[in-house]
Structures are given as structure tokens and as C-alpha cells.
Structure 1
Amino acid sequence: MAPSYLSLENMPKLNLVDTSRPKGGETEKITINLGPIDLGQIDLLVEEGFYSTRTDLIRTAIRNQLAVHAQVVTETVTRRAMVLGLQHFSRRDLEAAQAANEQFDVHVLGLASIAADVSPELAVATIASVVVLGAFHASPAVKAALKGRIR
């Protein structure tokens, strides 16, 4: 029997957690380039006590912009049938899909993670495609095996 691609309604039971704010080690580092005048203004606001650090100002600015566009994000996540937050795939989750001879698409806005004990063969047998806007955590071997399926 050929694998069937599952809709969200038919997807095997997975461990899903919707998180709006990352906890301690759940952040990703980004690098931005700023001109000296922008950087100087940021430093001035920090020095004057408006923000505790440069990072505090940048996080606040990003959150404010995300709040401005929250409706668009919500509508797009719904339209694309994406998981918002964290979606973790354990070896047990993927083995259940394999036993049912099923594959599914991973569509996440946030963090998608595949357990470290998942073999590349199991991932290839059960995951048809991966679209993650945010961060995708998996072993290097699993990422390499899914390379042609990650968009």
C-alpha cells in the first residue's frame, strides 16, 4: 500500500506545545547590521534607562512590529495549515506513522524538532516534506537525509 499524505485531522498524535515566548535555551541567535547613528541612538536609550540592554530594545521593537502584523500572521498560519509554536517528533511518533504506512508534512511557524534517537531511515520513511519558518532542530544525519524535502 502506498503511503498516504495526511491532513492535520488525520495526523498521528504528536506532542504539540503552543508557546508564545521562548524559555531559557529556546532562543536562536541572529546578527543584524546597523549604522553607527542607529547604534548610537540605541546606546543613548540604554544609557538613559529606557531599556536595560541593546538586546532589550531590539526584542521590544521586534515584538511591537509582530503585534502590528499579528492578524496577518494568524490568517497566514491558518491558510497554510501550519502549527504555531513548537512541534516535536519523537521516535515513537514516527514509528507509529511508519506502522500505519503513512507520511506527513511538517509545516511549522516556530520550532520543529525531531528527537535525537530518530534514524535517518525512519525520518525519510515518515516525513514527506518540511517547511519551517523559525528553527528546525534535528540531528545532522536526519537533516541530510531530508535535505531534498526541506523548503
Structure 2
Amino acid sequence: MSNEPVRQRDRLPESEKITINLGPVDLGRIDLLVNEGFYANRSDFIRTAIRNQLANHEETVNRTLDRHTMELGLREYTRADLEAVRDAGERLHIKVVGLARIAGDVPPTLAEATIASITVLGSLQASAEVRKALSGRIR
């Protein structure tokens, strides 16, 4: 991990936007709970419901992470990280649940030479050039 300060444009998003479709009855019930003060707004209700479901399935998620040897959370690959992989004659199979980030100073040729595959359940941050170089390896 790099010790360089994070520039404003490189800041990690605090959340990722998703879109869901709900029926009018479910939506009305959510609005009722919001109006009664149980939740600040619809998004607060949905985030809470998702966190509760994830907590209910935490053991399954952890077993799956162990089985697939996936990393959980934020994993950043810096130029120095990838140069060390290249110098060791190795290639990476990146598996992340959360956010995988390839630093902005990583040239596409280095990424292509060191990253054999990328599986991300969540978000992948990489320059357009690196994404293009790895397009056939991103799952």
C-alpha cells in the first residue's frame, strides 16, 4: 500500500449508487416507517435492510471468502507492488469483494505483464488505459 497522500480526485467513493424497483405496496410501507420516524428516509431503510441481511448471512460469506481465497474490503495495487510481482517473475490473480484499485501511475504494460485475472465483486477502479489492457481478464 502506498503512503502517498490521496488526491481529491482519487478519493474513494463513500458509496455506490444502485437502482431497485419496488412495488407500490412495499414502497408505501417503507414511507410509513419513514413518516413514523423509524428511518430518516427511504435510503436509510434500504441500507439498514441490506446490512441486516448481510449480517444474517455473515457466516456463509466468510466461508465463501475462505473457499475462494478472496480479499474483503479495499485492496490497492500500486506501481511498486506490480513491479515487485514482475521482478519475482509472478502473475497475480486478483480476487476482491469490495473495492480493488489499481493506482493511477500504473502503466498499462505493467498491468498487462503482471495481472493474469481480476475478479471483483463490488467495484474496480483503474484508468481507462489499464482497463483496456486488461479487458479480456476482468470478470
SS at match of 2:26: helix
1:43-58 pair list within 5 angstroms: 43-58=31-46
Q: Which residue of 2 aligns with 1:4?
A: none
Q: 2: CA distance between counterparts of 1:64 and 1:87?
A: 25
1:88 to 2:71 alignment: no
Where does structure 2 lack aligned partners over 5 or more consecutive residues?
Answer: 3-11
How far apart are 1:25 and its partner, in Å? Answer: 2.9
Q: Which has the higher contact order (CA 8 A, sep 6+)?
A: 1
Q: Which residue of 2 aligns with 1:7?
A: none
How far apart are 1:69 and its partner, in Å? Answer: 0.7
Q: CA RMSD in A?
A: 1.6
The structure carrying a bigger helix percent of its residues is 2
SS at match of 2:121: strand
Quick one: percent identity of the two aligned structures? Answer: 59
TM-score, length of structure 2 as denominator length: 0.89
SS at match of 2:15: coil
Where does structure 1 lack aligned partners over 5 or more consecutive residues?
Answer: 1-13, 16-23
1:2-151 pair list within 5 angstroms: 25-151=13-139
Q: Partner amino acid for 2:76?
A: H
How many residue pairs align between the two structures? 131
Runs of 4+ aligned structure 1 residues displaced above 6 Å come to: none
Q: 1: CA distance between counterparts of 2:88 and 2:68?
A: 25
SS at match of 1:58: helix
How far apart are 1:97 and its partner, in Å? Answer: 1.1
